[in-house]
């Protein structure tokens, strides 16, 4: 069966896209022989920075010749991105074969699309018994399919903020509830807490995990970083300080994610990495749509000598981080924005008020749950120089670019995927 055919079939196994319960995936994994058990895991939870943290760990492990598997969600351009084994993306043929086998074993039982994909990931990961599995636990970890593992090497808590509130009861749509959902069910191992947006959130996280007997490694308390003006940054923890080259990811905010990755690897006894592995690895981090410059292609041709970036930030915390980085750039910034319907559009764009030269809203193609660009623009009454264009190409072509101006396309990972495919 071809890949798209089996994917279409899997999407019809449950009436809901998301149904927060672990019963179905536990049932299927039992049929599969519980492949998720007795593997090596590093779990990554949080709101923002999970992908970048995983990719930093991946790059360092690769330099140390330590094999890893990776499971992330959502994908940007193609579903194969979610299934990495031995540091290689699975092929269409092998993914179709894997999903068909798992679907046959499921035997038509109700299960969500994400749950059966997760079960399939575990089923294939069992073939790579000695590899380290890097798991991105999305939405709310406590009820996420990835949380059915029974042991891990470490859990990383990246920056936590408000997002996916529509999946919480109306009276519980708070940062406290999100922190509880993401951290209360963490396994007992080691917990690395990355840089948070405020001490208040950090203290709430500490309170949530106070009864977890894991060793806690906390940013600023147990590890830290500082940026130098001379093309490098310092990382420091109890094992000593490192003078490191700047990573190949743009944005000072990425240093937090990279530092959390380093802290994690330096605190796992079973992983042997050298300082040189860290120095080499952080210069080779793979990143898609995390303030990434589009350096060639059809869309790049439209802006000629100007720069065009794509960023998948889609919640207020992401907007805050992106806005801070844009503020450090001495040029005119033009935003092209497309968002999903369930996001906080007004708060997201509020971080860019008086910091951008223009805003153009667009429709996100192939996404029925996206907000129409014409409806989106109506929410931004206090911004100047705002426009709507139906397509991404029209939006780019409509901007009157001067020398050194840049364009940033942002607001959704789904939009990012469409941009990259179009380019």
pLDDT digits 0-9 by tens, 291-324: 999 999 999 999 999 999 999 999 999 999 999 9
d(CA 242, CA 221): 17
> Could you check whether the bond before residue 74 is cis, i.e. omega within 30 degrees of 0?
yes
Bridging pattern class, strands 223-227 and 386-388: unpaired
Tens digit of pLDDT for each residue in 357-391? 999 999 999 899 999 999 999 988 778 899 999 99
End-to-end CA distance of the chain: 29
pLDDT at 1 over 80: no
Tens digit of pLDDT for each residue in 156-215? 999 998 877 676 778 878 999 999 999 999 999 999 999 999 999 999 999 999 999 999
CA-only gyration radius of the chain, Å: 21
Whether 216 and 306 map to the same domain: the answer is no
Give the residue carrying structure tokens 């995927």. Answer: 417
Half-sphere exposure of 364 (CA within 13 A, CB side): 23
Whether 93 and 238 map to the same domain: the answer is yes
Whether 224 and 273 map to the same domain: the answer is yes
Domain C-terminal end among 212, 247, 281: 281
Is there a domain that residue 186 lies in?
yes
Per-residue confidence (pLDDT) for residue 167, from 0 to 100: 67
Q: How confident is the model at residue 282 (pLDDT cuts 50, 70, 90)?
A: very high
Q: Is 217 exposed, middle or buried (0-12, 13-18, 19+ CB in 10 A)?
A: buried
CA distances (Å), origin 193, targets 45, 103, 217, 318, 368: 10, 37, 6, 18, 36
Whether 167 and 270 map to the same domain: the answer is yes
Q: CATH number of the domain that 37 lies in? A: 3.40.1190.10
Q: Which domain holds residue 416?
A: 292-422
Secondary structure of residue 310 in the 3-state scheme: strand
Is there a domain that residue 132 lies in?
yes
Whether 219 and 303 map to the same domain: the answer is no
Whether 198 and 267 map to the same domain: the answer is yes
Domains held by the chain: number: 2
Domain C-terminal end among 261, 281, 301: 281
Whether 263 and 342 map to the same domain: the answer is no
364 or 253, greater pLDDT? 364
Is there a domain that residue 206 lies in?
yes
Is there a domain that residue 286 lies in?
no
Tens digit of pLDDT for each residue in 93-134? 999 999 999 999 999 999 999 999 999 999 999 999 999 999
Domain C-terminal end among 246, 281, 316: 281
Is there a domain that residue 61 lies in?
yes
Helices 92-106 and 3-10, axial angle in degrees (round to 10): 30
Per-residue confidence (pLDDT) for residue 253, from 0 to 100: 86
Whether 106 and 165 map to the same domain: the answer is yes
Is there a domain that residue 287 lies in?
no
pLDDT at 66 over 80: yes
**Out of 133-147, 273-287, 293-307, least confident range:** 133-147
């Amino acid at each position: 069966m071809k890949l798209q055919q089996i994917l279409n079939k899997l999407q019809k196994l449950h009436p809901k896209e998301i149904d927060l319960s672990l019963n179905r995936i536990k049932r299927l994994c039992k049929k599969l022989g519980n492949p998720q058990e007795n593997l090596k895991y590093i779990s990554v939870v949080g709101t923002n920075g999970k992908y970048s943290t995983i990719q930093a760990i991946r790059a360092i492990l690769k330099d140390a010749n330590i094999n890893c598997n990776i499971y992330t969600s959502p994908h940007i351009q193609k579903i194969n991105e979610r299934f990495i084994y031995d540091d290689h993306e699975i092929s269409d043929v092998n993914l179709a074969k894997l999903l068909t086998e798992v679907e046959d074993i499921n035997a038509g039982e109700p299960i969500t699309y994400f749950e059966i994909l997760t079960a399939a990931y575990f089923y294939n990961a069992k073939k790579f018994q000695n590899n380290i599995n890097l798991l991105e636990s999305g939405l709310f970890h406590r009820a996420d399919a990835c949380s059915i593992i029974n042991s891990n090497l470490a859990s990383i808590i990246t920056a936590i903020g408000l997002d996916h509130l529509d999946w919480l009861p109306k009276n519980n749509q708070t940062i406290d509830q999100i922190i509880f959902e993401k951290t209360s069910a963490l396994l007992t191992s080691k917990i690395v807490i990355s840089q948070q947006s405020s001490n208040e959130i950090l203290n709430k996280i500490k309170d949530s995990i106070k009864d977890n007997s894991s060793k806690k490694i906390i940013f600023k308390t147990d590890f830290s970083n500082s940026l130098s003006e001379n093309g490098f940054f310092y990382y420091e923890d109890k094992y000593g300080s490192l003078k490191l080259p700047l990573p190949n990811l743009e944005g000072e905010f990425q240093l937090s994610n990279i530092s959390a990755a380093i802290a994690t690897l330096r605190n796992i006894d079973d992983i042997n990495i050298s300082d040189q592995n860290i120095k080499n690895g952080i210069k080779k981090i793979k990143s898609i749509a995390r303030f990434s410059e589009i350096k060639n292609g059809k869309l790049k041709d439209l802006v000629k000598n100007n720069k065009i970036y794509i960023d998948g930030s889609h919640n207020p915390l992401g907007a805050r981080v992106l806005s801070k980085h844009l503020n450090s750039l001495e040029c005119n910034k033009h935003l092209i924005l497309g968002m999903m319907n369930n996001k906080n559009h007004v708060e997201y764009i509020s971080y860019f008020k008086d910091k951008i030269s223009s805003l153009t809203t667009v429709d996100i193609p192939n996404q029925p749950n996206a907000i129409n660009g014409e409806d989106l623009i109506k929410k931004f009454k206090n911004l100047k120089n705002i426009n709507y264009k139906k397509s991404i190409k029209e939006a780019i072509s409509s901007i009157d670019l001067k020398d050194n101006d840049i364009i940033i396309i942002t607001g959704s990972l789904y939009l990012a995927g469409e941009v990259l495919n179009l380019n």
